[in-house]
Every structure is written in structure tokens, then in C-alpha cells.
């Protein structure tokens, strides 16, 4: 087998087939090539059957790609070779072995939503004292217990990891697992735990699996948790040919249960283990690595290694400090545009940030400068549901004729207005030439008690209009978030994304407060126009645009040019990480971001940043920037204070209250119903000029049949928007 395309150390990793081997694979060091070539080497050169090889990775996509690459390197059928994720592997094995644990082999696998629903049901049966813990909180706590290997003694683990410990919580934990067993179901964590139990408790099963898997390979070993570690340890105990690939410097998923100690302790846990370091980086040039290495070397705990590149020449990473996040976003957008003019391509650039909320300002500036982009791993800020919902409320507040906005929020939060009722409303509105909001105000005309059915949304809108008098735009957005019940709705949803959704709306509120300061004559109408322009998707480019993503989302990817935005204390590293003693993981996250760049790396920050409820707060540069020696970075921000934009307070423009009274949008004709006559000429705001053909009914229930230029309609004279012409 020809391995000449590999470096000496890569070939050593491929051909060292006996015993435990830890490959410390630095960023961009070609670990995937090593893994696939090693499997091919075992099959082609060592005559190992694919059936006796187990290869584990962390995503189904990576597993499929690995299998395809192996198939291209060997002339054997590898369809029976086990290449999969931990969870897929355990699910497949348990279809044969679940009966050993008292399950039927046709057990159901509960996803996160199924598990949360079951926990909610169980919590409802307990008179518990869990404070503000929600079913989703309890579900995450249970998952942490299981992933830590603490299933046998949950009480001790819960005491250690939760400030909300109570005997009730332990009882709910046990009741949840009893319910799963009763329903012949396993959650995702159970797949791993139960497979470990099979191996621990059944000698025959243990012998079968340890006999079968003569060679075991594990990718991304730094991301394994305690249960995954135990699973691998047992499977490898007979043949001891365990080959793991990972990099402690890229361990960034502790919040998902990953335990970087699995790499640190490998040599202690597996006797006679060999360690091979893949230190040559084939992605970045040396100038980028010098800066990245300076950051990661400051970690308190890491295995010593020195990533290097054969490409010694290249531009130093660039540092830029702006006055605030808007100036920072503008600098990034303008720099990208300039790079494109020099011949670089949008698709080869990425802007990385610590939190999703940073994306809003960056998106605004990208659009302002005509830079096409795509948001990786999430929606564009203004395309997110929670943002569109709040904007819809604002739109209806400003313009009661906005039917699309009305339909979006009429039942958000839930107000018990059914689809059939909305259909009748739409039909009545179309017939009468009214907006949906106008029709809802007059719903008694087509439905008994109709006005009361729409009272929940009508009362909310009238209350908002009354309260918004004299408020700034920022205050109005805050008012909408709270008074509509939207904030409470998000909290009660108790989804994994709840916190992010709330943060997104808070960022929208920030944007409105900043708008109040920037605009010459701030008004809700103008602000909504600005948002409408921002949400125009013309500048979005799913294929050829700049990639915007979080630092966590960037792992495993690479770009010609990388911008890392928000390099400030309390943002990156985050305040919480520092307070909880998790600085090393933040440092590794910074290292991951920096080593995504192949040619150009920009590290940007701002002196002030707007925070929810706190206005513009001063920020100091991230300690990660201070770790980089001055000679290893080019500072472009020296003397830039003269170029910053200063914001001044602007007077608040009085608002027009469209909801002051129902008469505000009810036609004046109502007061002069008696003046309408058969043969008379009228004008309608939507249908134009028409002639009254007939009038039926009495008082407010009088209905006129009117011939317009292109239609004939029956309209209520009491509130149809009619003007008498003759």
C-alpha cells in the first residue's frame, strides 16, 4: 500500500497497529487522512477483516464520509464494517441484546421532546419543591447525571452538580427511569448506559463484542464523556488495539458532557500506550500559528505540543479596536469589500463570534455595504421567528391596516382564536373592504359575541397604544415584549433555545435604543422602515456569500480569511466562564477560531458595547489579545480614536396614536347613516366609486348593495369606509 503521500509521522500513526495509541492531532494536521489510511492499511496489509474493525466518530455525516473514503482505498466489501457514532452503534447492538436488561428488542427511542414531555407528566404528579426548575431543566440535569456515569448513585451526583438538590428531584429521576422501562423506551443517554450495562453484566455478550472488535478507532476523543470512555475501555480490553485521535487544545464541548481528562489520562489508563503527535499544520501559515500558539500555551492544563507550518511566509494576524460594535461591524464589512476588490472571494471568508446576538449588528453592516452572506447553523437575525413576531406587533401598532402582521400575532401567544373564526373574519373583512383589525372591532356584525372572541388581541393592541404615548422606540419595543405576554410565553415554552430567543429579542431592544440615539427624528414608522430594508433578503447568498457563525460552529471548518469579532473581556472569554473557572475551555475556543484561517486572520473588538438594560458599557480587550506578543500581530487601530462615531441623545418625536379610539379607523359615515339613498353615488377607500342599488335592514344593521366599476358588493353602512358623493 502506497503511503508516500503521508508525512513520516503520519505514516507512523498509520502503521503502528499493535497496542493502545493516542494520536494528538493538532488543527489542520490531516487526522482524517490518517484514520482512513490506517483502516485501509489494516485491511490491505494486515489482512484484518472489516468485520473485526470498529470505527467511531461523532456525527453521522462524518461516519458516512469515512466509510466512503475507506471504500475507495480497499478492494474488499466493507458493508459489514462498523463505522458509526456511539449512539448509532449502541442502538444497533441493543436491538439484539436489550432483552438481557429486561427490555423487548423493539424498544422505542425517546428524543429530547419525548423525554421532556414524560418528565413534565411525572413532575405534575409530585408535590415537589424544585423552585423554578422546569421540565427542560430537569431533563438536562438527568442527562448530566447519566453522561457522568452517575446513574447508579444519582443522589451523590445531583448534590454535586445542582444547587437545587432535593429528595424530590432524586425521586423524579428514579420515577422517570421507571416510566421509560415501563414503556419499553430508552432515551439517548440510555443507549450508551444500557450498552455498558450489557457488557458489565452479561459475560457472554462481553466475550462476543470483545472477541469481534480486534481493532478499535475513535475520532475526536477529546469530546468523549465518562460513559463513552467506559464503553471503549471494555470493548478494547481483550485485544488492546485501541487507536484514538484527538486534540485537547480543541476540547470545547464540556457543556455537552465532554471530559477532556480522557485524553490527559490515556497513558495512565492504558498500559504501554504510545503517543504520536501530529504537529505539522497543513492549513495555516506560521504567522497565524505563532499567534494561536501564544494563546493556547497559557492554558493551565494541556499536553505539550508545538503546531508548526512549512509555510513560513504570510501576513501577521491583524488587530482592530473600534469605538463600539457598530463601528466594528462597519470595519469588517468594509474590509471584506476591499479584499474582494483585490481578488479574494466572499465564499472563502468567515466572521466568527462568541454569541448569536452579535450577528445582528454584523448583518446590518453587511447589508449596508452590499456584502452577500449566509448565517451558518442558524437563521439570519431578522429571519428568526421571535424577531419577526415582535416586529409584527410593532407594525400593527403603527399601521392597523397591516393584515399580514395581524395574522402573524393574533394567536401568539395563544388566545383561543380558532382557524374557523379567523376564516369568517377574513371573509367579512374582504366583503366589507376592511382590514382584519377593523373587522375584528366589528365582529358582532357577522358572529354572535364576535367582538368578545377577539377581545384578547384587541385589548392588547389598545393597551399598547395607550402606554406607548410619548415613549421612545426602544421603550416601545420593550413594552411590546412584556405587555403582549411574549416574554412569559418564551419562558413557559421551556425549550433548549428559550434563553437564546430571549437574548435575541433583548438584542432587538438594544438596536431600537441605539436607533433612538442615532436618528435625527426617531419614530416607530422610520424604525420599521429601517428594519424592512434590513430584512430584504436580496443580499443573502446561500452559496457564494461570507459565512457568519459562532466559534463553536466553526470547529472542523477552514477559510482563506477569518474575522473574529468581539474580542473583549466578559464577552470572550465570557463572564460566566471566568466566574465558573472554565477559562481553559474559552481559551481552547479562541485557539479553534484562530486556526480556521489559512491566509488572513483579523481579531476585532470595541471599546464600548450596548447591553440589554445597561446602555453602552465600556469593555477592555480580551486577555487572549494580550497573550499575543506585539511582534506577532499587526495593530491597525492605533490612533483610530479620531475616526470613531459619537452618538448624542436626540429629542423624541411625538407619536400618532392610531388606537386612541375605535373611531380612529371607523369611517365617519357611521354618524350619517340616514343620508345614504338608493341611486346615490359613494366612494369606497378600496373599491373606488360606486352607485347604491338597494338598501335593506334597520339602524346599524342597514346593508347597501353597491355597484362598483369591477364588482358588486353588499356593505354595512354603519362602518364601511364610504364617503357620500351625491
Residue 708 φ then ψ, to 5°: -100, 180
Ordered strands of the 681-684 beta sheet: 712-716, 703-708, 688-696, 681-684, 722-724
Q: Which DSSP string do the residues of 534-581 spell out, in sequence order?
A: HT-GGGB-TTTSEEEEETGGGTT--EEEEEE---BTBBTTBHHHHHTT
Alpha-carbon distance of 220 to 450, in angstroms, equals 61
CA distance 601 to 608: 22
Catalytic one of 305, 596, 609, 713 = 596
Among candidate residues 32, 85, 421, 539, the one labeled active-site is: 32
Neighbouring CB atoms inside 10 A of 318's CB total: 17
Query: Sign of the CA dihedral 533, 535, 538, 543?
Result: positive
pLDDT the model gives residue 662: 42
State yes or no: is 220 an active-site residue: yes
Among candidate residues 97, 187, 190, 220, the one labeled active-site is 220
Catalytic residue among 116, 250, 550, 608: 250
Known catalytic residue: 219? Answer: yes
Strand order in the sheet with 318-322: 373-375, 546-550, 349-353, 559-564, 597-606, 318-322, 634-635
Pick left, alpha or beta for residue 691 (phi over 0 → left; psi -120 to 50 → alpha; otherwise beta): beta
Q: Are 589 and 628 in contact (CB under 8 A)?
A: no
Rounded Cα distance, 214 and 239, in Å: 6
What is the C-alpha to C-alpha distance for residues 379 and 386, in angstroms, rounded to an integer? 11
Q: How far apart are CA 439 and CA 435, in angstroms?
A: 6
Distance CA 95, CA 105 (A): 5
Question: Which residue is catalytic, options 97, 187, 190, 219?
Answer: 219
Q: What is the mean pLDDT of each run of 10 residues along the chain (726 residues)?
A: 90 95 93 93 94 90 87 87 89 90 86 82 73 79 82 73 70 87 87 94 95 95 92 96 93 83 92 94 95 95 90 95 92 94 94 91 88 79 86 87 85 89 87 85 86 91 89 92 91 78 88 81 80 50 78 91 96 90 94 96 93 73 95 79 36 43 41 72 84 80 82 78 82
Helices 498-518 and 486-493 pack at an angle, to 10 degrees, of: 150
Catalytic site residue 113?
Answer: no
Q: Is 319 left (phi over 0), alpha (psi -120 to 50) or beta?
A: beta
Question: In terms of Cα–Cα distance, which of 231, 195, 239 is closest to 98?
Answer: 195
Q: Are 512 and 476 a contacting pair, CB within 8 Å?
A: yes
The whole-angstrom separation of Cα 571 and Cα 368 is 25
- Sheet of strand 21-25, all strands in order from the earlier edge strand to the far edge: 82-85, 53-57, 215-218, 242-246, 21-25, 274-278
The distance from CA 512 to its chain's CA centroid, rounded to whole angstroms, is 22
Distance, CA of 284 to CA of 557 (rounded, Å): 12
pLDDT at 537: 38
* pLDDT for 647: 32
Tell me how far apart the alpha carbons of residues 192 and 94 are, in angstroms, rounded to a whole number. Answer: 10
Catalytic-role residue among 10, 31, 247, 395 = 31
Known catalytic membership, residue 174? no
Whole-angstrom distance, CA of residue 37 vs CA of residue 14: 6
Q: How far apart are CA 39 and CA 45, in angstroms?
A: 10
Query: In angstroms, rounded to a whole number, what is the distance separating the alpha carbons of residues 431 and 685?
Result: 13
* CA pair distance 409, 389, nearest whole angstrom: 6
Closest CA to 523 of 651, 387, 381: 651
Asked if residues 291 and 307 have their Cβ atoms less than 8 Å apart, the reply is no
Please indicate whether residue 200 is annotated as part of the active site: no
- Please name which of 559, 596, 589 lies closest in space to residue 572, comparing C-alpha atoms: 589
* Closest to 585 in 3D by CA, of 233, 293, 259: 259
**Angle at 117 (CA atoms; ends 111, 118), nearest 5 degrees:** 90
C-alpha cell at 198: 450489557
Specify the pLDDT at position 642: 36
Is 705 annotated in the active site? no
- Exposed, middle or buried: residue 709 (CB in 10 Å: 0-12, 13-18, 19+)? exposed
Other residues' Cβ atoms within 10 Å of the Cβ of residue 360: 22
Helices (DSSP H) in 572-644: which residue ranges?
575-579, 583-594, 623-627
- What does the alpha-carbon distance between residue 90 and residue 228 come to, in Å, rounded to a whole number? 10
CA angle 608, 613, 614 (to 5 degrees): 35
Q: What local confidence, expressed as pLDDT, does residue 285 receive? A: 96
For residues 604 and 619, give the distance between their C-alpha atoms in angstroms, rounded to a whole number. Answer: 13
C-alpha cell at 60: 453521522
Name the E strands within 615-702.
615-618, 634-635, 681-684, 688-696
Sheet strands (E) in 130-174: none
pLDDT at 622: 96
pLDDT of residue 58: 83
Start-to-end CA distance of the chain, whole Å, equals 97
Give the C-alpha separation, 128 to 466, whole Å: 41
Going along 608-648, which residue ranges are E strands?
A: 608-611, 615-618, 634-635
What is the distance between the alpha carbons of residues 477 and 471, in angstroms, rounded to a whole number?
10
Amino acid at each position: 500500500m502506497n503511503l508516500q503521500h503521508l508525512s513520516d509521522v503520519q505514516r507512523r500513526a498509520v502503521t503502528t497497529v499493535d497496542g493502545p495509541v493516542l494520536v494528538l492531532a493538532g488543527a489542520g494536521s490531516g487526522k482524517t487522512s490518517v484514520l482512513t489510511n490506517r483502516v485501509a492499511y489494516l485491511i490491505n496489509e494486515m489482512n484484518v477483516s472489516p468485520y473485526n474493525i470498529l470505527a467511531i466518530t461523532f456525527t453521522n455525516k462524518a461516519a458516512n464520509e469515512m466509510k466512503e473514503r475507506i471504500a475507495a482505498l480497499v478492494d474488499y466489501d466493507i458493508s459489514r464494517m462498523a463505522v458509526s457514532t456511539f449512539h448509532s452503534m449502541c442502538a444497533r447492538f441493543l436491538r439484539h441484546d436489550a432483552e438481557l436488561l429486561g427490555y423487548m428488542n423493539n424498544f422505542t427511542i425517546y428524543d429530547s421532546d419525548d423525554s421532556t414531555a414524560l418528565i413534565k407528566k411525572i413532575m405534575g404528579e409530585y408535590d415537589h419543591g424544585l423552585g423554578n426548575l422546569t421540565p427542560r431543566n430537569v431533563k438536562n440535569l438527568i442527562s448530566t447525571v447519566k453522561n457522568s456515569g452517575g446513574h447508579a448513585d444519582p443522589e451523590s451526583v445531583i448534590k454535586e452538580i445542582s444547587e437545587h438538590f432535593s429528595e424530590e428531584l432524586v425521586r423524579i429521576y428514579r420515577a422517570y427511569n421507571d416510566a421509560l422501562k415501563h414503556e419499553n423506551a430508552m432515551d439517548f443517554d440510555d443507549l450508551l448506559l444500557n450498552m455498558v450495562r450489557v457488557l458489565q453484566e452479561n459475560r457472554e455478550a462481553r466475550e462476543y463484542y470483545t472477541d469481534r472488535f480486534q481493532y478499535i478507532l475513535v475520532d475526536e476523543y477529546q469530546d468523549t464523556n465518562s460513559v463513552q470512555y467506559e464503553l471503549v475501555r471494555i470493548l478494547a480490553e481483550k485485544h488492546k488495539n485501541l487507536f484514538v485521535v484527538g486534540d485537547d487544545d480543541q476540547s470545547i464541548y464540556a457543556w455537552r458532557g465532554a471530559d477532556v481528562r480522557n485524553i490527559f489520562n490515556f497513558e495512565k489508563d492504558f498500559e504501554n500506550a504510545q503517543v504520536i503527535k501530529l504537529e505539522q499544520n497543513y492549513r495555516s501559515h506560521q504567522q497565524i500559528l505563532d499567534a494561536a500558539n501564544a494563546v493556547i500555551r497559557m492554558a493551565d492544563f494541556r499536553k505539550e505540543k508545538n503546531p508548526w507550518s512549512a509555510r513560513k511566509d504570510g501576513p501577521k494576524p491583524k488587530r482592530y479596536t473600534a469605538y463600539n460594535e457598530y463601528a466594528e461591524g462597519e470595519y469588517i464589512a468594509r474590509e471584506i469589500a476591499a479584499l474582494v476588490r483585490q481578488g479574494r472571494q466572499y465564499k472563502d471568508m468567515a466572521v466568527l463570534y462568541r454569541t448569536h446576538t452579535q450577528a445582528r449588528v454584523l448583518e446590518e453592516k453587511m447589508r449596508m455595504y452590499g456584502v452577500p452572506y449566509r448565517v451558518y447553523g442558524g437563521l439570519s437575525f431578522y429571519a428568526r421567528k421571535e424577531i419577526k413576531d415582535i416586529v409584527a406587533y410593532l407594525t400593527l401598532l403603527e399601521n392597523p391596516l397591516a393584515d399580514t402582521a395581524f395574522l402573524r400575532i393574533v394567536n401568539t401567544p395563544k388566545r383561543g382564536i380558532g382557524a374557523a373564526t379567523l376564516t369568517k373574519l377574513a371573509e367579512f373583512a374582504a366583503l366589507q373592504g376592511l382590514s382584519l383589525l377593523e373587522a375584528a372591532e366589528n365582529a358582532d356584525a357577522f358572529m354572535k359575541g364576535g367582538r368578545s372572541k377577539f377581545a384578547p388581541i384587541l385589548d392588547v393592541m389598545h393597551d399598547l397604544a395607550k402606554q406607548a404615548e410619548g415613549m421612545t422606540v426602544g421603550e416601545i419595543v420593550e413594552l411590546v415584549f412584556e405587555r403582549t405576554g411574549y416574554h412569559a410565553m418564551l419562558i413557559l415554552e421551556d425549550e433548549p433555545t428559550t434563553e437564546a430567543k430571549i437574548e435575541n429579542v433583548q438584542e432587538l431592544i438594544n438596536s431600537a435604543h441605539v436607533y433612538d440615539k442615532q436618528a435625527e427624528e426617531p419614530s416607530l414608522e422610520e424604525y420599521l422602515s429601517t428594519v424592512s430594508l434590513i430584512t430584504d433578503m436580496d443580499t443573502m447568498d446561500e452559496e457564494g456569500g461570507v459565512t457568519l457563525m459562532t466559534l463553536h460552529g466553526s470547529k472542523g471548518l477552514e477559510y482563506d480569511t477569518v474575522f473574529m469579532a468581539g474580542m473583549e473581556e466578559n464577552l470572550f472569554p465570557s463572564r460566566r466562564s471566568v466566574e465558573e473557572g472554565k477559562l481553559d475551555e474559552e481559551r481552547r475556543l479562541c485557539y479553534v477560531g484562530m486556526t480556521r484561517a489559512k491566509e488572513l486572520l483579523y481579531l476585532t473588538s470595541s471599546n464600548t458595547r450596548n447591553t440589554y438594560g445597561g446602555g453602552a458599557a465600556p469593555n477592555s480587550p480580551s486577555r487572549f489579545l494580550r497573550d499575543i506578543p506585539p511582534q506577532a500581530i499587526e495593530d491597525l487601530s492605533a490612533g483610530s480614536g479620531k475616526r470613531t462615531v459619537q452618538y448624542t441623545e436626540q429629542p423624541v418625536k411625538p407619536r400618532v396614536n392610531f388606537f386612541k379610539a375605535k373611531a380612529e379607523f371607523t369611517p365617519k359615515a357611521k354618524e350619517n347613516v340616514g343620508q345614504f339613498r338608493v341611486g346615490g353615488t359613494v366612494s369606497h377607500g378600496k373599491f373606488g366609486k360606486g352607485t347604491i342599488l338597494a338598501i335593506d335592514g334597520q339602524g346599524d344593521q342597514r346593508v347597501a348593495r353597491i355597484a362598483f366599476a369591477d364588482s358588486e358588493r353588499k356593505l354595512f353602512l354603519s362602518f364601511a369606509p364610504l364617503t357620500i358623493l351625491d
